[in-house]
Amino acid sequence: MPVPQRPLPIVMVVSHAGSHVRALIDAIRQHSLTARLCAVISNCPGSNGLAYAANAGIPAHVLDHRTFPSRVEFDRALDALITLYTPELVALAEFNRILTPEFVNRFRGRLLNVHPSLLPAFRGWHPIEQALAAKAAEHGATVHFVTADVDSGPAVLQARVPVLPDDTVETLTARVREQEQRMLPEAVRWFAEGRLRWVDGQAWLDGQPLREPVRL
């Protein structure tokens, strides 16, 4: 008989995001993802993500960055809180902080982020606004491994959406977010199944280096 897959222990780190937490919880409940969401951490009190976690009986923690004297101090506290749960993967979703190299190196190869643009286009803050200002014909989202260079880690998965003539930040954000909610559980599933790995600074899928991200 086949050996049952052990659930992958995960910690999610978010700011205001709730829908991404819900998407991961739903994937686990529907048995499309063999994982255990150990905790959700947010730097924003009142985060929807914390509410979804608490309602699902998952530990939900506020770690308000405004109470720390520096980025380094905040990241060390975040590291310590995550480490309490001994996760094998840390998933970032709409987390509005730039992490220090010290933190990133600590979790290197176990840190996935979903970014609302088709990286390498529109890195950093406000990518939706950047795309609209540039009159881009299409936009989308990328799941990538996190490195010390912001939004520059190896891309794993991308989904594209058209930019419509009457799009606003709100309407384009909504369509991109729909794709993100499909992408993050899928990438986490690949990692949980051992298909997705970080090897010598590259993303590998099914035993081969990813030369370009998979399109969903």
Can you give the residue ranges of every domain in the chain? 1-107, 115-216
- E strands within 80-201? 89-93, 111-115, 138-145, 155-162, 196-199
Q: What is the pLDDT of residues 46-58, one digit of tens each?
A: 899 999 999 999 9
pLDDT attached to residue 150: 87
Low-confidence ranges of the chain (pLDDT < 70): 1-4
115 is catalytic: yes
- For position 3, what pLDDT does the model report? 44
Sign for the pseudo-dihedral over CA of 41, 42, 46, 51: negative
> What pLDDT was estimated at residue 33?
93
| pLDDT score of 4 | 53
Active-site annotation holder among 20, 115, 139, 144 = 115
Res 6: pLDDT: 86
* 42-62 burial code (b ≥16 CB/10 A, e <16): bbbeebbbbbbbeebebbbbe
Fold identical between 1-107 and 115-216? yes
Q: What is the pLDDT of residue 18?
A: 83
Which CATH architecture group holds 1-107? 3-Layer(aba) Sandwich (3.40)
Q: At the top level of CATH, which class does the domain 115-216 belong to?
A: alpha beta
pTM: 0.93
Per-residue tokens: 21? 């937490």
pLDDT for the residue numbered 2? 45
Position 7, amino acid: P
Pick from 116, 165, 163, 164: nearest CA to 141: 116
Query: Using CA atoms in the order 62, 66, 68, 71, what is the torsion angle rounded to 10 degrees?
Result: 100
Whole-angstrom Cα distance, residue 113 to residue 93?
6
